[in-house]
C-alpha cells in the first residue's frame, strides 16, 4: 500500500507578486505531487481564512511562513504513513487538526496546498493524470470557458464599477474551437480599444481595463469585438458578468459610482433585467451582495429561468451556505473556488450538492494565481461544464486553458465539449 512519506511546503510568489504556499507530498514509492495555492483580491467575508504572517517588515505583512511552518511542523508528521488514496480521510484529519469553523488555526491556504498535493501524488502513484484519477466514468465533458476580457472593480483601478465582463463561447464545436474564438475576440477588442484611444493595459486577470464612462459601455465594446472577429453575439458567443456587487453595496443600497447612481434592491434587479433583454447575457455572478438574500431571491425570480445566476461570495464553496441557497431558491448556480473552503473533498461535495439540486457549477481561479493547473483537471474529471480562469493572456491564466487543450487532445473522442448543454437548467 502507498503511504505518505513526507509533506514539505515553501513560500512562492503569486501573479500579483504576493507570497503564497507551495506544497510537495512524497510517497514511499517515490511518487509525488505538487500544488500551489491561489489568493483572491475580492474575497467573501464567509471564506475560509487565508493565514498571513502580519509581519509588516516582510512583504508588508503578507508573508505565509506561518502557513508553511504549520505544514512542515504540524501537518506533515500527522499525515505520515496515511494512504494518499483516502482523500476524504486525509482532509477530515486536516479539518480536525485545525479545529475551527473557518480554518483559521492551520490556515485554509496550508490545508488546501496539502490536500491538492496529496491528490496529485495519489494520481501519480497509479500513473494517471489527475482528471482521470478524479473521474468515475469513461467519457468526459470539457468546459465552456468564461474569459474575463474586460476588468473593473478591485481587479483594475479607474475602470468600471462591475468587476468582470466575460465572454462565453458556448456556440463552439470543441474546447479548442472555443479558445480560438475567445482569443480572436480578445484581439479584436484590443484593436477597438486602441482605435478609441483608450489604454490597453490589462488588469489582474488579463482583461483590458480602459477608463470607460459607464458599465454599459463595456458591453457595447464586447459586442463590437465579437462582430469584428466574425462571430454572432447570442449564437456563437455570449456575455457573462461578475459585478462583485458586495464591493459596491453600502447601507442597503447598490452604489454605481461610475454612473452616479444609488440603487435599491429592486432597482438593482430591474437594472439586470433591462440588460439581459438588450444583450446576450447568459450568466451573472454575484449580481447581489453576499448578505442580501432577499435581493438574490428577487433576482432569481425575475430572470432565473433564462440566465445563470452564480453565487460566489454568497456560498463560498460551503455546503452549509449552499444548502440554504437551494432551500430559498436564491440562485441556480454556484462558483467553485478551492481556496474558499480549503480541501479537495469539501470542494467536490459542493459540486455534487449543486448537481443533485439541478444547479450548475463554475470552477474558478482567483485573481492572485500561480502556474498550478489543478482546476483544469478538476473541471474535466468531474465534468462540471464551465471554467472561469481569466483572459487568454498572462501565463498563469493560459496555463489552465493550455492544460485543457492537452486533455482534449489526450482524450480524443472520449471528450465532448459542453457547449450550450452547460446551461441545461435554463430555458433559452
Question: Contact 382/351 with Cβ under 8 angstroms?
Answer: yes
Residue 337 a catalytic site member: yes
Name the pairing type of β-strands 308-311 and 415-417.
unpaired
Q: How far apart are the first and last CA of the chain?
A: 50
Q: How far apart are CA 315 and CA 150, in angstroms?
A: 25
The active-site residue, picked from 26, 164, 184, 205, is 205
Which DSSP string do the residues of 83-104 spell out, in sequence order? -TT-HHHHHHHHHHHH-SSS-T
Q: Which of 5, 103, 297, 337 is catalytic?
A: 337
* CA dist., res. 83 & res. 72, Å (int): 18
Residue 34 in 3-state DSSP? strand
Alpha carbons 415 and 105: distance in angstroms, whole number: 41
Q: Which helix (H) or strand (E) holds 145?
A: strand 144-151
Q: Tell how strand 238-242 and strand 249-250 pair up.
A: unpaired
Contact yes or no for 428/422 (Cβ under 8 A): no
Q: Is 320 a catalytic residue?
A: no
Is residue 255 helix, strand or coil? strand
DSSP state string for 280-333:
-EEEEES-S-TT-HHHHHHHHHHHTTTSEEEESTTTTT-HHHHHHHHHHT--SE
CB 426 within 8 A of CB 358: no
- From 263, 147, 161, select the one nearest 217 (Cα to Cα): 161
**Rounded Cα gap, residues 221 and 193, in angstroms:** 8
Show which residues are catalytic.
Answer: 205, 337
Amino acid at each position: 500500500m502507498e503511504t505518505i512519506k513526507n509533506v514539505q511546503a515553501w513560500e512562492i510568489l503569486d501573479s500579483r507578486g504576493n507570497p503564497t504556499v507551495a506544497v510537495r507530498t512524497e510517497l514511499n514509492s517515490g511518487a509525488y505531487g505538487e500544488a500551489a495555492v491561489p489568493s483572491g483580491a475580492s474575497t467573501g467575508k464567509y471564506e475560509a481564512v487565508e493565514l498571513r504572517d502580519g509581519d509588516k517588515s516582510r512583504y508588508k505583512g503578507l508573508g505565509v511562513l506561518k502557513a508553511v511552518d504549520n505544514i512542515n511542523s504540524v501537518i506533515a508528521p500527522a499525515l505520515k504513513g496515511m494512504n494518499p488514496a483516502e482523500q476524504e480521510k486525509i482532509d477530515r484529519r486536516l479539518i480536525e487538526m485545525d479545529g475551527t469553523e473557518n480554518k483559521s488555526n492551520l490556515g485554509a491556504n496550508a490545508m488546501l496546498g496539502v490536500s491538492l498535493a496529496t491528490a496529485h501524488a495519489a494520481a501519480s502513484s497509479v500513473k494517471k493524470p489527475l482528471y482521470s484519477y478524479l473521474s468515475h466514468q469513461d467519457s468526459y465533458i470539457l468546459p465552456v470557458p468564461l474569459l474575463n476580457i474586460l476588468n473593473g472593480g478591485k481587479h483594475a483601478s479607474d475602470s468600471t464599477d462591475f468587476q468582470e465582463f466575460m465572454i462565453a463561447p458556448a456556440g463552439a464545436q470543441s474546447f479548442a474551437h472555443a479558445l480560438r474564438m475567445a482569443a480572436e475576440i480578445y484581439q479584436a477588442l484590443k484593436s477597438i480599444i486602441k482605435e478609441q484611444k483608450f489604454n490597453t493595459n490589462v488588469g489582474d486577470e488579463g482583461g483590458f481595463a480602459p477608463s470607460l464612462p459607464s458599465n454599459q459601455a463595456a458591453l457595447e465594446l464586447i459586442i463590437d469585438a465579437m462582430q469584428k472577429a466574425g462571430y454572432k453575439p447570442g449564437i456563437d458567443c455570449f456575455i457573462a458578468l461578475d459585478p462583485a456587487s458586495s464591493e459596491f453595496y453600502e447601507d442597503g443600497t447598490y452604489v454605481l459610482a461610475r454612473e452616479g447612481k444609488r440603487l435599491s434592491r429592486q432597482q438593482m434587479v430591474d437594472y439586470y433585467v433591462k440588460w439581459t433583454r438588450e444583450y446576450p447575457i447568459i450568466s451573472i455572478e454575484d449580481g447581489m451582495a453576499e448578505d442580501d438574500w432577499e435581493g438574490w431571491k428577487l433576482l432569481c425570480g425575475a430572470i432565473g429561468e433564462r440566465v445563470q445566476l452564480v453565487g460566489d461570495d454568497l456560498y463560498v464553496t460551503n455546503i452549509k451556505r449552499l444548502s440554504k441557497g437551494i432551500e430559498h431558491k436564491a440562485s441556480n448556480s454556484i462558483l467553485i473556488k478551492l481556496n474558499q473552503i480549503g480541501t479537495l473533498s469539501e470542494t467536490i461535495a459542493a459540486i455534487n450538492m449543486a448537481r443533485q439540486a439541478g444547479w450548475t457549477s463554475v470552477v474558478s481561479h482567483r485573481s492572485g494565481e500561480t502556474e498550478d493547473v489543478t482546476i483544469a483537471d478538476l473541471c474535466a474529471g468531474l465534468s462540471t461544464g464551465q471554467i472561469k480562469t481569466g483572459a487568454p493572456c498572462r501565463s498563469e491564466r493560459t496555463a489552465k486553458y493550455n492544460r485543457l487543450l492537452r486533455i482534449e487532445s489526450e482524450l480524443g473522442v472520449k471528450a465532448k465539449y459542453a457547449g450550450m448543454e452547460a446551461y441545461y437548467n435554463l430555458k433559452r
